Structure 1
């Protein structure tokens, strides 16, 4: 049987990507996708995973959420959070994604810090789809996830002699 990706066979390389290359690949992934699974900690300590549509600025991702949602209540009690983002998977060679580990904060619409994030949210299409006027911007809070560590996985890196899992840490 022919081997379609011979570079996937054998042991994984252990070389680290240069920091600037790793950061570029992470930013590309965050910009090219818009769905993440957010994991929060419930009151009894069990994990709660929720899919969300996110937006990104740099290494931060953010999404709209109601203050009384389960994930928002969990984050008020414990701001630790993990988010998983994955590219469509066709096979081992296409395996690519990131796990973000950090903390979350909620910005109310009137918070001065919220404006810079709201500028990156494409809310107008949602308003049109729901029959709302685009003259009335949303008033929902934003939840911003600031990662301290990102585990980036891309098996295509093996082709160039780099390990498929790379770790980014906030400076």
Structure 2
């Protein structure tokens, strides 16, 4: 039987992708998708995973949510959060996704820190879908995940000799922009 992707055979390479290239791939994934599964911590310590339609600004993802929702209540009690974003999967060669590990914060609509996020938020399509006017933006708060670590997976990287799983962490203040793993 012929192999369609012979470069997938054998052990995976372990080379680290240069930081600039990794960041470009992460930003591409964040910009070309809008569905994440967000995991929060329930009061009993168990996980709760919820799909959300997100927007992104840099490496942060954010969405609107009612303060009374289970995920919002969970995040007020414990801001630790993870999110998974995945591209459509056809086979191993197309495997591409991102796990975001970070801290969530919620900003009310009138919070001055929310301005840039609201400008980047794609709320108009949601309003049209729900029959709401475009003259009044949502009043729901925004929940923002600031990542402290991201695990990017792309098996196509193997073709170029790079490990299919790459770790991103924010640069320490004053650090060189050379890749970190």
Cα deviation 1:52-73 (Å, max 9, x = unaligned):
0000000000000000000000
3-state secondary structure, aligned to 1:119: helix
Q: Distance in 1 between matches of 2:131 and 2:96?
A: 36
Q: TM-score with structure 1 length normalisation?
A: 0.98
| Structure 1 residue 123, shift from structure 2 partner | 1.4
| Structure 1 residue 131, shift from structure 2 partner | 2.1
Q: TM-score with structure 2 length normalisation?
A: 0.93
2:168 corresponds in structure 1 to: 168
Q: Distance in 1 between matches of 2:126 and 2:166?
A: 35
| Structure 1 residue 129, shift from structure 2 partner | 2.2
The answer to whether residue 30 in structure 2 is matched with residue 39 in structure 1 is no
Q: Distance in 1 between matches of 2:167 and 2:125?
A: 35
3-state secondary structure, aligned to 2:152: strand
2:126 corresponds in structure 1 to: 126
Where has structure 1 moved over 3 Å in runs of 4 or more? none
CA RMSD, aligned part only?
0.6
Residues 139-154 of structure 1 mapped to structure 2, 5 A cutoff: 139-154=139-154
Structure 2: gaps of 5 or more residues: 172-181
1:72 corresponds in structure 2 to: 72
Q: Distance in 1 between matches of 2:69 and 2:27?
A: 28
